[in-house]
């Protein structure tokens, strides 16, 4: 019988080896990115180190590994790639997906209903699917062309959005959600180029047969109103209902906007809507090495 401690030790060593392999691949990707930044005009080693969150010595090593002569400041990337960064690669995306999966899976076992855990799992699956679209697996049989795989990516995006709204519904007060919905609505209209959907009538086919009609709208306070003439519908909306109904209306509005003539739209405005929140910014920490 296998010693449980020995099995655990081997599993830990296997994970350590896998981590080292991932780190090596990520280091290669970092060197490519550093070289691309250098060749397209960013020639400050301290700035590159700060953005990559590594030491200057690491940046020097990355540049040397990509045959870049720091003494020649006029080096440019050859051919049509000049100024275009680096392309998205399936192997790089797959590496990130596997790391994300390694983080998400134990969390799912710990708390499978936590919405942020489910977001992390959906994100890891979405990354893996992106890699499959970029480079369909050749050893899995039929059904892996981009045309067949992209619907799965859309579904994973929907799952990610759903659990994100679950997390928000659990944290935010209804008044906050109403204010956010109204701010979004006013902001879209202020831009002049997109319509908003204030309500919709949805025909629902029931599992038991037949169909009913559900009206989705907003009451006088801005909260989502769900109503129907059918006795099979329980009216009223909770926070998650509100968030998902407003998201669905946004999708319908985008579809409608694509079919509007220019006469239905206003001149594009670039100024910020009065009273709008300032944009969020993320500060990248410096590197003192």
Phi–psi pair at 162, nearest 5 degrees? -60, -50
Predicted confidence at residue 274, as pLDDT, reads 67
The CA distance from 140 to 144, in Å, is 8
Does pTM top 0.75 for this prediction? no
Predicted confidence at residue 66, as pLDDT, reads 86
Phi–psi pair at 202, nearest 5 degrees? -115, 125
What are the average pLDDT values for consecutive 10-residue runs of the chain, which has 289 residues? 66 74 76 87 87 89 86 51 66 86 89 95 95 90 91 95 97 95 91 94 94 94 94 93 96 96 89 71 59
Predicted confidence at residue 125, as pLDDT, reads 95
**163, 170, 172, 220 from 179: Cα distances, Å:** 21, 16, 11, 13
Short-list 158, 68, 163, 152, CA closest to 120: 163
Predicted confidence at residue 81, as pLDDT, reads 46
pLDDT in tens, 191-209: 999 999 999 999 999 999 9
């Amino acid at each position: 019988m296998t010693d449980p401690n020995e099995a655990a030790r081997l599993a830990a060593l296997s994970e350590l080896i896998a981590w080292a392999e991932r780190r090596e691949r990520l280091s290669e990707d970092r060197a490519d990115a550093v070289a691309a930044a250098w060749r397209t005009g960013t020639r400050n080693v301290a700035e590159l180190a700060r953005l990559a969150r590594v030491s200057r010595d690491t940046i020097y090593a990355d540049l040397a590994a990509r045959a870049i002569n720091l003494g020649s400041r006029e080096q440019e990337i050859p051919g049509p790639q000049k100024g275009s960064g680096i392309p998205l690669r399936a192997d790089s995306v797959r590496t990130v997906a596997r790391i994300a999966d390694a983080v998400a899976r134990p969390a799912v076992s710990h708390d499978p209903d936590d919405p942020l855990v489910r977001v992390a799992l959906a994100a890891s699956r979405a990354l893996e699917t992106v890699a499959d679209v970029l480079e369909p697996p050749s050893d899995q049989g039929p059904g892996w062309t981009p045309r067949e795989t992209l619907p799965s990516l859309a579904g994973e995006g929907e799952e990610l959005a759903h659990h994100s709204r679950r997390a928000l519904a659990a944290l935010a007060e209804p008044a906050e959600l109403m204010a956010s919905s109204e701010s979004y609505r006013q902001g879209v209209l202020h831009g002049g180029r997109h319509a908003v959907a204030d309500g919709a009538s949805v025909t629902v086919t029931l599992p038991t047969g037949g169909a009913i009609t559900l009206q989705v709208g907003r009451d006088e306070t801005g909260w989502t109103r769900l109503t129907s003439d059918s006795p099979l519908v329980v009216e009223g909306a909770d926070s998650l209902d509100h968030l998902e109904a407003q998201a669905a209306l946004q999708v319908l509005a985008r579809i409608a906007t694509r079919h509007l003539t220019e006469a239905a739209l206003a001149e594009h405005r670039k100024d910020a809507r009065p009273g709008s929140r300032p944009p969020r910014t993320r500060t990248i920490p410096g590197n003192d090495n």
